[in-house]
A and B are shown apart, each in its own frame.
Chain A
């Protein structure tokens, strides 16, 4: 004991704690706050080393730390709320200062006492370990399957250099874990206690209980997807896929931040179903893909395309979930009546959509014409359901080439709106280059020009998910199109839209899901998975409205979602959405399929039902013991009288809140009790126990003394205190 280890042993601890604070702080505070928290860790270690030798009382230390923390929090709050300070220094400066101060000092004030405590008592070591594990676990809980992508600056830096972040994070995790072990073992002086594993188990249960609701739901949806397609779950995933998928989600989230949450519910890299669409008629899109539009981006804000804020344009999207049947206001409706001698252009088709994850707005097969509410077929499995009627095209874009672009009902402002783009001659140059590839007779056909642009993009770009995210603040196109031309749907869709616009074609980017039409197979259900989230360019075709003209690069660096949706799962979910059970056994969903938290609470309830009789029996036993100890002097043997009577008196006093403190002698306690009878009892007891023998009193005398003790002592105690004492089944427990 007392062997002071070298300072080098502390370094793993510093690193582990710094990593923990980094993970913890980066999501909550500014860069300055994070750096301050890291400095706080270093300061806490320094302070703990310096004060470890001082005989400071732990209780006092914690009290002081928590008090100081409260003061700091209060000061920070006051400073942030103070208008004058913000005026004088500017609110960013005040914010940075308060964040720095509260994170730095807060870390110091909490970590230093913890380290000091842990250096004295092994149980605090467990607390420390549990905290560290909790911090890392909570960070990873949001990004399952090892798809860690925070902090962004690390991920982006790695991606820009074509390094897969996953192995990097795994290695970092392994190093941190090793350091954690070294750090904990290097300080463990006392023997390992049973407390440690118990604490960890409690920690894990607590995590499960207090995880945000959405996380559990995701887990649930994921479990539902995995149920019945085990082989798919076990299928090894491509190295970077998990992260990449995640990345795309993230990107979408970012993209829609100022407009709309993304259509899918972004989460882990594992593919899970987000919705299932039942087609009421057999339909195969001529262009081979089911496009489900949720939102559209058409306003050029100087940097990129965003959703139209005026609400006057793009009226075909942005409709809330229907409470009653609503018709979608469309400027141009495709002709659904078959003209004599001509091919049918489009027809109406009804679909039912059942969502499995929360969505902010409904989506429908392009083009949505009407939304109707629908009952949720299975609230346990589906978020909500609605019916959508769409006007679906029967013709490919190639068949529309003779049509004009834009609408004749449009005002010049609307034309400007849909053709606005960066004032960069390079777009026009690329567009002209694409146009030049057209055969001469098509060069001046308006929509053929769009097709030419598409072909040019197909040829000259590479589909690659491992590129930096396109964020709200930057142009997703410029670096892509005039750079290495490596990108994914967002880059492609924006580039196409810009190039279309540069040719004077009205274009926009639509956001939603795209599912390969072949996936439907022979069934009527189309399963939409999180990986199907997509953005695609659209051109306005006169008389038809917006028509998708998606870019499909010939070169693919990272293939898009490649694992096929399980047709069995698709069929099953489709049937569930239609509320027709697939098989009798499905009426009782298999265990593990339900809500995780609910299952946990049910388990807890079952456990408590088992424990309740045990607890009740224990309480009854405690009361019986209490009563027996009072009655013992009446029935015990003569030789036991001094002990039994004294014990009964002690129990009575304990009920009144009078108990001997640790280390005090019996005689001392006797003096503190306002009853001379108790002193006599004490004396008799001591003579019996330590002396040659107790006085030869009769049992009646002992009983009388015992009664007198409680009567006299009770005089000075309020009635409620006595009542509490009598009701307390454990009052005798500590009597000694």
Chain B
């Protein structure tokens, strides 16, 4: 993450949310070593009210991470919602196994709803691509609508509700890969690589210490929810930022390597993510750097690139470069929003298929 010196938060309304984010960050960093970037992204997703899809291999610390996140949150109002649940998705899993089931209570002669594991603050959906589409779609409905429908009765989920789903990038036999429309529900798709050597040594060295809970205070659910509101209110998003996003999206839609471009929804989702990142870094405004940093995670899995065109993230960065430069240059012109419409860079003549 950015290491350039950060100005202290001068604006009061964001002081609380900033502290909350920092506490969360410290707690997670204490629990999971060598995953600072993933931790930051997860906090950003949490603050932006999105969900995260981790693409990694077993044993990479995602459960630890999700569990640490769940354990960091307390329930101030004493609701009976679990902080953390984990569901291992298998082909024979049923929607009710996730959402819960209505059971006939003999004593009251009524059906009583037994909430499933989805009724938790943090849900780890392990190997989400191994389960059948109907379970996946039930999950995804819950993620999008923050509600569960069982027996035609809708049960709302908590506002905090945060899903960390995982899938194994290899070993794809017998899986149900998520279609793009469902991938769209995830704010981020994060590809995790093996952690660094030093970090790995650190993991082994701090094996014992990490078992006990860190000294940091817990974060309340309300603090997070409030942070979401405050962030949206007070982290400044300049009109030029939005212009830049739209121009980048238009660039990418016209890009010859792109089969399906970015949806408008993805741009809408991008704004709170940018704000969350700014907040996490102690800024009360969004800069071009935030866009540059988040774009691959947010746009990468929403883009369908032509076969053989390479990495979607590289394509995203390609389409982003021009609008970002325009944004950066515009700052010299003062705080006035630029009215200059950005034309996409010239596309070289297509002499054949790339592939």
Residues of A participating in the B interface, judged by any CB pair closer than 8 Å: 1-2, 4, 52-55, 119-120, 189, 640, 643, 646-647, 660, 662-668, 670-671, 676, 679-680, 682-683, 685-692, 695, 736
Contacts and interface: CB of A to CB of B under 8 A. Distances in A.
B114 interface: no
Nearest to B240: A690
A210 B289 CA distance: 53
9 contacts: A1-B349, A119-B349, A665-B292, A667-B287, A667-B289, A670-B4, A690-B236, A690-B238, A736-B332
B331 A666 contact: yes
A52 B348 CA distance: 12
Closest 7 CB pairs of A and B: A691-B285, A53-B352, A2-B350, A689-B331, A663-B321, A665-B289, A667-B289
Contacts of B288: 665-666, 690
Interface residues of B, number: 39
Given A685-B331, A689-B331, A189 B236 contact: no
A692 B236 contact: yes
Given A643-B334, A683-B7, A120 B349 contact: yes
Contacts of A663: 321-322, 324-325
A385 B11 CA distance: 96
A52 to B, nearest CB: 5
Contacts of B325: 662-663
Nearest to A696: B10
Nearest to B348: A120
Contacts of B287: 665-667, 686, 690
B335 A688 contact: yes
Contact of B7 (A667, A671, A695, A736): A695
B283 to A, nearest CB: 7
A671 B287 CA distance: 15
B284 A692 contact: yes
Interface centre among B3, B240, B328 (most CB of A within 10 A): B328
Interface of B: 2-7, 10-11, 236, 238, 240-241, 283-289, 292, 321-322, 324-325, 328-332, 334-335, 347-354
Given A666-B289, A690-B240, 18 more contacts: A1-B349, A2-B349, A53-B352, A120-B349, A643-B334, A665-B287, A665-B289, A666-B288, A666-B328, A683-B5, A687-B283, A687-B285, A689-B335, A691-B236, A691-B283, A691-B285, A695-B7, A736-B328
B324 A52 contact: no
Contacts of A689: 238, 330-332, 334-335
B252 to A, nearest CB: 15
Nearest to A680: B5
A690 B285 contact: yes
A7 to B, nearest CB: 14
Given A663-B324, A667-B289, A683-B7, A736 B329 contact: yes
Contacts of B349: 1-2, 119-120, 189
A1 B350 contact: yes
A278 B11 CA distance: 104
B126 to A, nearest CB: 36
A4 B354 CA distance: 15
A687 B286 CA distance: 9
B233 to A, nearest CB: 12
Contact of A640 (B286, B334, B353): B334
A688 B288 CA distance: 14
A692 B285 contact: yes
Contacts of A4: 351-352
Interface centre among A640, A676, A680, A686 (most CB of B within 10 A): A686
A668 B289 contact: yes
B328 A643 contact: no
A647 B332 CA distance: 8
Given A2-B349, A690-B331, A695-B10, A667 B4 contact: yes
Nearest to B352: A53
Contacts of B348: 120
Contacts of A665: 287-289, 292, 324, 328
Interface centre among B11, B289, B321, B322 (most CB of A within 10 A): B289
B65 to A, nearest CB: 27
Given A55-B354, A119-B349, A676 B329 contact: no
A692 B332 CA distance: 16
Given A52-B351, A662-B321, A676 B285 contact: no
Contacts of A640: 334
Nearest to A189: B349
Contacts of A643: 331-332, 334
A443 B287 CA distance: 116
Contacts of A119: 349, 351
B284 to A, nearest CB: 6
Contacts of B321: 662-663
Nearest to A682: B4
Contact of B331 (A53, A664, A686): A686
A679 B5 CA distance: 7
A706 to B, nearest CB: 15
A334 to B, nearest CB: 82
Nearest to A691: B285
Nearest to B336: A689
A735 to B, nearest CB: 9
A2 B332 contact: no
A112 to B, nearest CB: 14
Nearest to B318: A663
A436 B349 CA distance: 84
Contacts of A54: 352
A682 B332 CA distance: 11
Nearest to B331: A689
Contacts of B335: 688-690
Contacts of B4: 667, 670-671, 679, 682-683
A54 B325 CA distance: 29
Contacts of B240: 690
A189 B283 CA distance: 47
